[in-house]
Amino acid sequence: MDSHQRITRRRFLKTAAAGVALGIAGKPSILPAKEEYDLAVISGEPAAATKKALETLGGISRFVKKGHRVVLKPNMSFARTPEFGATTHPMVVAAVAQECIHAGARQVLILDHTLHRAELCLERSGIREACKNISGVHVQAFQERKFFKEIKIPQGKVLDRVEVIQEALESDVLINIPVAKSHSATGVSLGLKGLMGLIWDRESFHSRININQALSDLATLIKPQLTIIDATRALASGGPGGPGDVKKTNLIIAGTDPVAVDSYGVTIVPWYGQNFKGRQVEHLLIAHQQGLGKIDTDQLKIYKGTT
Amino acid sequence: MRTTLQALSLLLFSLFLVFATYKLPDWFPADIYLRLDPLLGLNAVFAAREMIGRALWALVTIGATLLIGRFFCAYACPMGASIDFLDLLLFRKKKRESLKTESNLRKVKYFLLIVFIIAAVTGLSLAFLMDPIALLTRFYTFFIYPLVITLINLFLDLLRPLSKVLGWVSLSHLHFFQPVFYMSAITLLIFGGIVALNLIAPRFWCRYLCPLGALLSLISPLGLFKRKVSQECNECLKCLKACPMGAIPEDPKTSRLPECIQCRTCVKVCPQNAITFPVSLSIGGEYSGIDFSRRGFIYSLAGGLGVGFLAARTPFTLLQGKHNLIRAPGAIPETEFLRTCIRCGECMKSCLTNTLQPCLWESGFSGLWTPKMDLRLAPCDQNCNVCGKVCPTQAIRSVSIEEKNHAKVGTAILLKEKCLVWAQNKICLICDEICPYNAIVFRPVEGYRRPVVIASKCNGCGFCEQRCPVLGESAIVVVPDGEIRLKEGSYVKEAKKLQLEFKADPGDDKFILEESGFKIESGKKEEKKSQPQNPKGFL
């Protein structure tokens, strides 16, 4: 996940996409949605909506190539069943994993640094069960420091070095699949906040340094190629652990701009009984100001659809 | 054949201990060795002054001893097996003189037995100190188990480069939770001491000290199989020297029946093939009585009463409930708990999170090795109820998960002077984030949202105390206040009576799939309320 590589890869992808678009311009029936969307917001049943969202963004093969090692980062930090809304829906995770394997991924590693005991999280979240029959997919929870590696954050303002799960650093593609939930320190916990699940020392975010700035610092280092918010339900209060008010939102929000995806995610439900915009979420605003993505949803090209 | 049975028994003992862990099936008696131990059973029944269901299993051992004799020590006892195997390994070549004070030493185990039984009658559980099964379970829990996990993890670490190269994804990330315990060293020292006593005489422990052996020897002369020496005997005394129990007197044609564990070592060493173990109904003979004196009896009686008296009359007894001591959920009321608990360590072995730790002096002499929860170290998980399941005396009751989660162990209190949010206006929410019961809420105080504990929702699980990022003592600690300790009856009902609610569910708003499209519940109602400030994190 060297940032140098990433830029080249992204450039390459853009060129490739353009090439493909040119190539098939003559057959518009194959690609009904020729225009590129910033966000795909799909309503429907978890797995189907996830697949539709990926399709809308140009298919998972836009990100995952043959032989790639893919890391999926859902939220499975709590030993809670999916209906609590504290963890990513297992069917969403399984759908993405399945698509990655179809696209030719050599290995899909689903991982998180769990807050509760690892085996309980894997078991209760349902994610291990949902993925057990997809070959090449492994669900792992990391609670040992030896699986983390320290890395510098050149652009970090309050966080200059951080220990990150090594597998995430070594992957070809990182896909962030957070669940939409409220958070009693950062307001909401979506994609950017979800990245905290990749690091070792989270306590200092709450005690030593400003968590909102630290999240933005972290986002300058860890840049998932794709963020898919599982908003099939949203934990509108009582987050991040729940129990709390679980709204039935039935949405999947996906995009490549982590700030934009999160910013849209803020608008889907009232959090703690109030409506907010992305700009009102401190860590998103800081990330936007640090140039990590767009925050105003009215400037985004959004595809809204149902399955 | 004997060695095989011993090895098998030790293996079984270890296996049962391995199974004593989270997700233990309800029907599986992981604590079976402890249940079968008649000394522990007697101790708990006398001290608790009531019948204990699981202790009835000990009748199996009693019955078998009545039928066969004191076979348990030679074939079934995992402690005996450990001593024998380690003796073979360490002291095989050691020349050991026969002890002159042997006949006096032999009485010690009976003294100890009497002390333990009398102490139990006075209400002091003491047999755990020297009961071999409890001792060994503790040794395995506090020493062997953590050691084995360390070794396995070390092996996995060494294997990791290879498993990475070979693409064994699961193996390359495999790591087992490393349990740690207080008092590992003391436990090791005691076990080491027992083994080292073999330097003086083989099976020193079993011959002279083991109170369980003493108990079994009381009834063993009634057993059917007895050593018999034929006229072929040329009195070479090889058997006398070889007997690991000192059960053969100067006249090798006779035997000290209570001491004989039917290991048949004498049969093997006899050059004349003069020794057999035929079925015999006679229980008479010069050496069938127990080596004991009236004076010794009186002394040990006094000893037992004395210890019982002393242990009951200490400030610790008066301060019960006033020390910050958190017991396992489902632990019966403290007085009964101390009487019933046999300190085997099985609950601590099985504990999923490693929060259960042995007490040293927290509740005095009568609380040695009893389980406490160290909630700064680890919390109690709401999905696990294994400690009660494996408790052989039910000092921790075996109850359903639902019941267990209502067996409140204490209440969290917030130390505002230490709390990062209260004292320093920092953005910390860890206690709230981790609380499984939503017992911590944020309330606007002095223009800032700060955490507050709702005592009626807190069952003392300790997730908050463990996770609090403050260094040193946690800024949120669980105290025994409000604990629910019931000898019988339902914790759920009791909690309801006290108007407590420990609910780890998302409320009524269950997740149901709906093809509702983009309909988003608008929070109009709530919007009308004027909030003093936006929730934390929102500008």
If asked whether residues B276 and B340 sit together in one domain, one would say no
Q: At what angle do helices B184-196 and B132-139 cross, to 10 degrees?
A: 130
The answer to whether A121 and A114 are in contact (CB under 8 A) is yes
Same domain, B345 and B295: no
A vs B, Cβ pairs < 8 A, gives 188
Residue B515 lies in a domain: no
> What is the Cα–Cα distance from A87 to A264, expressed in whole angstroms?
19
**What would the pLDDT profile of B204-224 be if each residue is shown by its tens digit?**
999 999 999 999 999 888 888
User: What are B536's two structure tokens?
Assistant: 């934390």
B454: domain range? 320-497
Q: Answer whether B260's CB lies under 8 Å from B247's CB.
A: yes
pLDDT tens-digit map of B483-533: 999 999 999 999 999 999 887 644 333 222 222 222 233 333 333 344 456
Whether residue B505 lies inside any domain: the answer is: no
Chain B closest CA to A5's CA: distance in Å?
23
B165 part of contact set with chain A, CB < 8 Å: no
Q: Closest-CA residue in chain B for A147?
A: B173
Q: Which residues of B touch A269 (CB under 8 A)?
A: 520-521, 523
pLDDT tens, position by position, B56-78: 999 999 999 999 999 999 999 99
Kindly state the helix (H) or strand (E) to which residue A289 belongs, with its residue range: helix A282-289
Chain A residue with minimum CA distance to B510: A83
* Residue B336 sits in the same domain as residue B466: yes
Q: Check A269 against B521: CB less than 8 A apart.
A: yes
**Confidence (pLDDT) at B514:** 29
Say if the Cβ atoms of A270 and B521 lie within 8 Å.
yes
State how far the Cα of A27 lies from the Cα of A24, in Å rounded to an integer: 5
Does the distance separating the beta carbons of B510 and A117 come in below 8 Å? Answer: no
Q: Largest Cα–Cα distance in chain A?
A: 58
Task: Tell me the DSSP string of B75-87.
Answer: II-HHHHHHHHHH
| Residue B326 shares a structural domain with residue B467 | yes
| Distance between CA atoms of residues B12 and B14, nearest Å | 5
- Going along chain A from its start, the domains and CATH numbers come out as 35-306 (3.40.50.11440)
Is residue B246 situated within a structural domain?
Answer: yes
Q: Which residue of B has its CA nearest to A208?
A: B426
Nearest-CB residue to A243 (from B504, B511, B536): B504
Looking at the structure of chain B, the number of domains it has is: 2
Q: List CB contacts (< 8 A) between B175 and chain A.
A: 143-144, 146-147
Query: CB–CB of A82 and B511 under 8 A?
Result: yes
Residue of B nearest to A202 (CA): B469
Give B522's contacts in chain A (Cβ within 8 Å): 270, 275
Last residue of a domain, one of B313, B347, B375: B313
Shared domain for B365 and B412, answered yes or no, is yes
Q: Is residue B527 part of a domain?
A: no
Closest Cα in chain B, distance from residue A184 (Å): 6
pLDDT of residue B110 exceeding 50: yes
Residue B531 counted as domain residue? no
Task: Note whether B229 and B82 are same-domain residues.
Answer: yes
Shared domain check, B264 and B297: yes
In this prediction, residue A243 carries a pLDDT of 83
What would the DSSP string read from start to end of B47-60? Answer: HHTS--GGGGGHHH
pLDDT at B270 over 80: yes
| Nearby residues of A223 by Cβ (< 8 Å), 6 or more positions away | A1, A3, A6, A174, A258
What per-residue confidence (pLDDT) applies to B295? 86
Query: Which pLDDT belongs to residue B286?
Result: 61
User: Alpha helix locations (H) across B327-484?
Assistant: 334-340, 346-350, 386-389, 401-406, 420-424, 430-434, 463-467
- Contact criterion met (CB < 8 Å) for A203 and B430: yes
Q: What is the pLDDT of residue B528?
A: 37
Q: Are residues B200 and B183 in the same domain?
A: yes
Taking 70 as the pLDDT cut, the residues of chain A under it are 1-35
Q: B392 with B364, same domain?
A: yes
Classify residue B90: in a domain, yes or no.
Answer: yes
B503 close to A (CB below 8 A) = yes
A283 and B537 in contact by Cβ < 8 A? yes
Give the pLDDT confidence score for residue B136 in this predicted structure. Answer: 97
Residue B255 and residue B358 share a domain: no
Q: What is the mean pLDDT of residues B125-130?
A: 94
Sequence-separated (6 or more) residues with CB below 8 Å from residue B132: B77, B78, B79, B80, B205, B210, B212, B213
| Domain-located, residue B493 | yes
Residue B516 lies in a domain: no
**Whether residue B171 is found in the same domain as residue B299:** yes
Q: Do B527 and A82 touch (CB under 8 A)?
A: no
Q: Which two tokens stand for residue B304?
A: 């037992």
Residue B528, chain A, CB below 8 Å: the answer is no
For residue B452 the two structure tokens come to 């507050």
Are the C-beta atoms of residues B276 and B255 closer than 8 Å to each other? no
> What pLDDT is stored for residue A10 in this prediction?
55
Report the candidate in A293, A47, A5 with the shortest Cα–Cα distance to residue A173.
A5
For residue A274, what pLDDT is reported? 85
Query: How much is the average pLDDT of B311-322?
Result: 85
CB pair distance less than 8 Å for B469 and A204: yes
A212, closest residue in chain B (CA to CA): B537
Q: Do residue A182 and residue B509 have CB atoms under 8 angstroms apart?
A: no
CB A66 within 8 A of CB A20: no
Residues in chain A: 307
Residues B332 and B308 in one domain: no
pTM, two decimal places: 0.85
For residue B162, count CB atoms less than 10 angstroms from its CB and return exposed for 0-12, middle for 13-18, buried for 19 or more: exposed
Cα Rg of chain B (Å, integer): 29
Examine the fold and report which residue of B313, B334, B360 is the final residue of a domain before the chain moves on: B313
Tell me which of B313, B333, B368 is where a domain ends.
B313
Confidence band for B312, pLDDT divided at 50, 70 and 90: confident
Of A55, A94, A86, which is closest to residue A183 (Cα–Cα)?
Answer: A86
Nearest to A258 by CA among A305, A180, A191: A191
Residue A117 and residue B352: Cβ atoms within 8 Å? Answer: yes
Check pLDDT > 70 for residue B371: yes
